[in-house]
Amino acid sequence: MAEIKQVAYTEDDIRSLDWKEHIRLRPGMYIGKLGDGSAADDGIYVLIKEVIDNCIDEHTMGYGKHVDITIEGKTVTIRDYGRGIPLGKVVDVVSKINTGAKYDSKAFQKSVGLNGVGTKAVNALSSFFKVESFREGKTKVAEFERGELKKEHKETTTTEENGTFVTFIADETIFHNYKFIYEYLDNQLWNYCYLNAGLVMNFNNKRYVSKNGLHDLLTRKTNADELRYPIIHLKGEDIEIALSHNNDYGEDIFSFVNGQYTTQGGTHQQAFREGYVKVIRDFFKKDYDASDIRTSIVAAVSVRVQEPVFESQTKTKLGSSVVYEGGPSMKKFIEEFLSKELDNYLHRNPTIAEALKKRIEQSEKERKELSGIRKLANERAKKANLHNKKLRDCRIHFNDEPPVKGKEEFIAARANSTIFITEGDSASGSITKARNVDTQAVFSLRGKPLNSYGLTKKVVYENEEFNLLQHALNIEDGLESLRYNNIVVATDADVDGMHIRLLLMTFFLQFFPDLVKRGHVYILETPLFRVRNKQETIYCYDETEKQHAVKKLTGKPEITRFKGLGEISPDEFERFIAGTDMRLQPVILEQGDHIQQLLEYYMGKNTPQRQEFIIDNLKVELDLVEEN
């Protein structure tokens, strides 16, 4: 046994951090992962959410009908028209942990944030933070840098409406090379409006408002032509549910608590899944398999809970087991609501009930047809020796149980685990040598994948590449066991590489759309050019960056055009896939995008419109290859 080095442990080793030091030292405890803005749950969006949550709480309590948000560069401003922070407490509310009004249930009955941390975290993690409160004709302003109070203004009179105005700039020493992706903010703001019908939000001159709540959400998230029956919309005290079925695979459930989008679900989402199955079985008096009942469901569930308990500060998963102290369990609350309202709805609408039954029976038939094929496909996957021939796994997955020591680090590593999907031995070889073996895996494709548009899920099991990829990701039975949080498509930046990307995206959207909808899929951006002289090397991702690099470097620099991933050495590749220089382009479905329409456009028949799009977009790539 190795000798354990003795380390002194004295009073000098004990430190007490003040609130802002602790937040800056351990930001993940307060806002989740940091990131650079390429993922919807990156810290810069959590900062915005923490401020807006306070505005929403004011609106929920009946104060303030609209919220204004502006982003210019990296400066964020948020203005609500609620009651405004009491002027004598403006500084305390944004700079003293566990200070706020939400501990008093009379002031905020069913609030999003209850622990008095949100705006303090924003303050501490911002290089500039300014808060201004307007209240009863008076105003108070305070300015901070990284949580440190720099200027506290005296109270003055104002003609502004009541409310609170916050301006901040996220600290670039913590959020490195970050940028805002407006599609993520767009989705975030729509969710706020769906859950607060009548609330008006303005973002950079774009107006957001919903009149019909969760019905509007499903209308935007789905294509009416693909729904098997009209959206069922049910509302009760502290609960709202909208649901339908389409022809997609899997379950698509959006869940919310007190206006908070719980991306990881929780007790309320699980209660809905179980309660829905029970009601359907009881209504049709048939013991359908739960997976057949829920396959292809698209639903939204919103509940209001007193004193909600979340499993993390970022509030992405509800842990509350009861609706309020002394009240019904979450399971009983939702089940009883569905037993009454959904059962009544189906009895009043027999045509919709029949369409729902046909969808369930279709899923049942497809599942039974696939059962034998699945068994054979699983046996083939084992014989193919997946982990030796196709998948170069990462160490974090060699042991599924977290270690006794370092459990938090283990969980964080799992959350950052990545799989690169690449084509060809040279490209996969370079990435394999350059990757971080602890958290990054590589899956090597053999040739171009099959175009799966319009095919049934049977092809997933019959096609060796798809079957092995499905097993590598561990998504055969849904995303609950997904082995890698980030799925990165890494192909050459040429016409063939673009085609492979498109074929992979077709596979994901056709059979596992939740991978894209939940933000797991990315495109790896690698440099097209290397420009260097004896003193410096600059990697460029497009023609404009190349021209800037040529002007910057003295003399006549050497210019190399990377025509394929295999041409980039492992030493160079390391900085692009294992360090802070890695650029990932998230695959985002914008509001109003419908999967089958997208697939029809890109992978369907060659309509003149599609041909024109391909010619216009690929001509740029072809010209670039020929010129270099």
The string of pLDDT tens digits covering residues 163-177 is: 999 999 999 999 988
State whether residue 29 is helix, strand or coil. Answer: helix
CA distance 434 to 450: 29
Cβ–Cβ under 8 Å, residues 284 and 342:
no
Output phi, psi for 595, to 5 deg: -60, -50
CA atoms within 13 A on the CB side of 541: 9
- Determine contact, residues 347/145, Cβ cutoff 8 Å: no
Q: What is the rounded CA–CA span in Å between residue 389 and residue 437?
A: 17
* CB-based contact 391:443 (threshold 8 Å): yes
User: What pLDDT band is residue 622 in, cutting at 50, 70 and 90?
Assistant: very low
What band does 607 get if pLDDT is binned at 50, 70 and 90?
Answer: low
Q: Where are the alpha helices (DSSP H) in 177-253?
A: 182-194, 214-221
The CATH number that domain 384-526+563-594 falls under is: 3.40.50.670
Which residue spans of the chain are classified as CATH 3.40.50.670? Answer: 384-526+563-594
Determine which helix (DSSP H) or strand (DSSP E) holds 132, and give its type and residue range. Answer: strand 126-135
pLDDT for position 110: 54
Q: Which positions ≥6 away from 381 have C-beta within 8 Å?
A: 467, 468, 471
Label residue 101 by pLDDT band (50, 70, 90).
low
User: Pairing between strand 200-203 and 521-525?
Assistant: unpaired
* Token pair recorded at residue 472: 């590598």
Structure tokens at 102: 């939400």
Q: Assess contact for 181 and 34: CB atoms under 8 A.
A: no
Polymer length of the chain: 628
70-84, 397-411, 494-508: least confidently modelled range: 397-411
C-alpha span between 101 and 107 (Å, rounded): 7
pTM of the full structure: 0.75
Greatest mean pLDDT among 20-24, 321-325, 616-620 lies in: 20-24
Looking at the chain, which residues constitute the CATH 3.30.230.10 domain(s)? 214-367
Please name the residue ranges forming H helices in 80-155: 90-95, 118-124
3-class state of residue 81 by DSSP: coil
Residue 621: helix, strand or coil by DSSP? helix
Give the fold, CATH level 3, of 19-208: Heat Shock Protein 90 (3.30.565)
Rounded CA separation 114/119 (Å): 12
Rounded to the nearest 5°, which phi and psi values hold at 436?
-85, 105
Q: With contact defined as beta carbons under 8 Å apart, do 96 and 120 qualify? A: yes
Q: What is the CATH number of domain 214-367?
A: 3.30.230.10
The C-alpha atoms of residue 449 and residue 455 are separated, in whole angstroms, by: 13
The pairing of strands 558-561 and 486-490 is unpaired
Q: Residues 294, 362: contact at Cβ < 8 Å?
A: no
| C-alpha–C-alpha distance, residues 303 and 195, integer Å | 10
Region 95-104: what's the mean pLDDT? 60
Label residue 313 by pLDDT band (50, 70, 90).
Answer: low
Residue 5's pLDDT is 56
- pLDDT at 402 exceeding the cut of 50: no
Q: Is the pLDDT of residue 289 over 50?
A: yes
DSSP state of 329: B
Quote the mean pLDDT of the chain.
Answer: 83
Alpha-carbon radius of gyration of the chain:
27
List C-alpha distances in Å: 82 to 20, 73, 111, 123: 27, 27, 14, 20
Q: Which helix (H) or strand (E) holds 338?
A: helix 330-348
* CATH 3.30.565.10 residue window(s) in the chain: 19-208
pLDDT value of residue 26: 84
pLDDT of residue 293 exceeding 70, the answer is yes
pLDDT band for 51, please (50, 70, 90 cuts).
Answer: very high
- Closest residue by Cα to residue 470 from 538, 390, 526, 350: 390
How many CA atoms does the CB half-sphere of 30 hold within 13 Å?
A: 24
Closest CA to 69 of 53, 94, 52, 85: 52
